[in-house]
Structure 1
Amino acid sequence: MRRLLFLLVFGIVGGGVLVSLGAWQLRRLEWKQGVLAEIEARIAADPVALPTTPDPEADRYLPVRVAGTLGDAELHVLVSTRDLGAGYRIIAPFTTDAGRRILVDRGFIPTEAKARPRRTGAMEITGNLHWPQEIDGFTPDPERDKNIWFARDVPTLAAALDTEPVLLIARSQTDPDVTPLPVTTVGIPNDHLQYAVTWFGLALVWAMMTFYFLWRTRARPRS
């Protein structure tokens, strides 16, 4: 009887813990969906003027419109997209009419277009401010002699092009041969539903195992 009671209590406590973890992930899912909705609304909002001192946290995803001159210099960040394949993001310096120099992510070009000339000069660009976090312990150093970079590390790119550490990711066209890759929420992970299903699945397995051991324990004395 004690063994049965122990198995029952152990099964109920373990199953309760697993169910509570699944419920917690559902709450996290609801929270994350709200965060993503806020980000999407912020990305799609009407553009404003470039802030005087942009903040990497407060101004992340801020829609901005700038007028000025796009420079000839370029940095090529290696990227691969599902729809366009392998290529480069074009990072260029942009001097605003007010005299400020910032970075502009113009968008995507295929690898074979690396050496082709692109439109520069006076233009107006609409996009979103962003400070991507693409550096980790496995990110290679840039191949500066080949102008191949492997991440959009804003301070490093800004130092290379002598600009403010501010990156505007264009959502308007800057050249017919450059495909804008505007900011979206696609790359922001949201795996809470999968985690919830996993925890609830484990809770079901736990309940089945508990029932099985209870049945075996009761059946053993009879046999």
Structure 2
Amino acid sequence: MNENHVLENPQDEPKIGPSTITRVVVVLLAVVLFSGFFGLGYWQVERRAWKRDLIERVDARVHGDAVTAPDQADWENVSRARDEYRKVMLLGTYRNDLESQVYAATDYGAGYWVITPMERVDGTIIMINRGFVPTDRRAPETRTDSMIDGQTRVTGLLRMDEPVGTFIRDNVPEENRWYSRDVKAMAIKQGLSPDRVAPYFIDADGKNNPAKLPIGGLTKISFPNNHLMYALTWFGMALLTLVGAWIVLRTRRPKNGQDTSDED
């Protein structure tokens, strides 16, 4: 004889929960995901601190007093972390006959950076990005009034060599087509000894350019600092992992109307 025993006290209702194996798997997965997401969030916090320090250091360099550009004895110590965007000055003579042009897109439209070797009195060479010229003024003969002969002084920002081209195009030295300021490759193309060419170039401010060409001082300094947003995203994912694990692991009561009867 079957007899239904109705459970009148809700506290006596059987509870439904995951099995032991499921619990172990969920806990392990939650620990791994939480640790990974939290670690990524903490890394972004550290990156934010590093980026803010970088911005402060670069800002101090850009707006500081100009110092003499590193000479050959100090070239091996020049680095991106120590020197890039430092305001420097240089005295030398332009080698206008060895000019190169690098494709550029600026606020003035498409055109070219004019890269001209400057020779110091000791015979060493530093490449100078004199500035931007529009496409119709690319050829040197179209802007002879902008050429500077004899010794002159240049002030600008120190930049590091760009040997890898751009994410869209690679440099083609044999055809004299340049998309990044690879000063070493340019020097070799122009027949200069690479050992005599500095591993950096200078973005000139253009203050000494006659005829206002090339247009100098167009260096863009931008360090996106979205690390706080990234950190909050990863920490949020870590929190959601805990919430998801709790939802899976919690013990639930059966829905109303579910048959929880026992049979004798």
TM-score calculated relative to the size of structure 1: 0.79
**More divergent stretch after superposition (3-12 vs 171-180):** 3-12
Contact 2:173 2:185 in 1 (8 A): no
Match of 2:147 in 1: 119
Letter in 1 for 2:235: F
- In the other structure, the counterpart of 1:46 is 65
Corresponding residue for 1:79? 104
Q: What does 1:150-165 align with in structure 2 at a 5 Å threshold? A: 150-161=179-190, 162=192, 164-165=197-198
Change (3 A) 1:197 1:157: farther
Q: Percent identity?
A: 28
Matched, 1:168 2:168: no
Which of 157, 165, 171 is the aligned partner of 1:141? 171
Structure 2 contact 163–180 (Cα < 8 Å) conserved: yes
Change (3 A) 1:204 1:113: farther
C-alpha spacing 1:200/1:85, structure 2 compared with 1 (3 Å): farther
Q: Which residue of 1 aligns with 2:42?
A: 23
Partner of 2:89: 65
Query: What is the aligned partner in structure 2 of residue 210 from structure 1?
Result: 245
Aligned partners of 1:127 and 1:182 also within 8 Å: no
Task: Check whether the contact 2:23–2:249 (CA below 8 A) recurs between aligned residues.
Answer: no
Displacement, 1:125? 0.8
Which SS does the other structure have where 2:113 is aligned?
strand
| Farther-moved stretch of structure 1 (113-122 vs 55-64) | 55-64
Which structure 2 residue ranges, 5 or more long, are not aligned? 1-16, 259-264
**TM-score, normalized by length of structure 2?**
0.68
Kindly provide the amino acid, as one letter, of the partner of residue 78 in structure 2: P
1:152 deviates by: 1.1
Cα distance between partner residues in 1 of 2:22 and 2:244: 13
Residue aligned with 1:201, SS = helix
1:13/1:96 CA distance change after superposition, 3 Å: closer
Instruction: Specify the code of the residue in structure 2 equivalent to 1:179.
Output: I
SS in 2 for 1:218: coil
- Does the C-alpha gap of structure 1 residues 143 and 24 become closer, same or farther in structure 2, counting only changes over 3 Å? closer
Q: Distance in 2 between matches of 1:142 and 1:181?
A: 27
- Given candidates 88, 106, 123, the residue that maps to 2:112 is 88
Letter in 1 for 2:115: I
Q: What one-letter code is carried by the residue in structure 2 that aligns with 1:111?
A: T
| Corresponding residue of 1:132 | 161
Question: What is aligned with 1:105?
Answer: 129
Determine the C-alpha separation between the residues in 2 that align with 1:221 and 1:213: 16
Deviations 1:4-36 (A, max 9, x none): 854456536633542332122112211221123
Unaligned regions of 5+ residues in structure 1, if any?
none
Give secondary structure in 2 for the equivalent of 1:66. strand
